[in-house]
Amino acid sequence: MNGKKDVLDPGPFFHGTKAELKIGELLKPQYRSNYQDKKSNYIYFTASLEAAKWGAELASSSSQERIYMVEPVGDFENDPNVTDKKFPGNPTRSYRSKSPLKIVAELGSWERHSEEEINHMVTSIHELRAQGKAVIDD
């Protein structure tokens, strides 16, 4: 976990989703995950716009894709789902927290991945799930 003396990343931080949220609202853990059919113990976020775009594009909903700028309210840690297990270190600058994230802004526009890239990623995720490998350490 990070502390006041040891900041993991100065941000800015993003959260990609299809949920419609308001400025000042708090994103909290213990709600249904965007990626699994269960409640999540953590709230996930990133300092990488690229990773936030994937979060918005791959979230399970037919609602509009959104990327919010967020501020962690409490401590956070490297997301073990993409650090060390898949990528040494934390090149995606992905994090998780058991504390809320405060919505501070919504990005008005951003460039989506191509439909081909999104479809390829969705297919890859389905293949991993079928092999029992798309498990989120939560």
Which three-class secondary structure state does DSSP give residue 35? coil
CA distances, 130 to each of 53, 58, 121, 127 (Å): 24, 17, 14, 5
Of 74, 63, 67, 41, nearest to 53 (Cα)? Answer: 67
Ramachandran class of 67: left when φ > 0, alpha when ψ lies in -120 to 50, beta otherwise = beta
Per-residue pLDDT tens for 34-93? Answer: 555 657 789 999 999 999 999 899 887 788 999 999 999 999 998 887 776 666 778 889
Distance of CA 94 to the CA centre of its chain: 7
Question: For the chain, how long is the longest CA-to-CA vector?
Answer: 43
Task: Lowest mean pLDDT of 6-10, 40-44, 92-96, 115-119, name the range.
Answer: 6-10
CATH of domain 13-130: 3.20.170.40
Pairwise pLDDT comparison (133 vs 123), residue with the higher score: 123
- β-bridge partners, 96: 44, 77
State pLDDT tens for residues 20-33. 999 999 998 865 65
pLDDT value, residue 102: 97
For residue 84 the two structure tokens come to 């060390």
Tell me the H-state helices in the chain: 49-58, 115-130
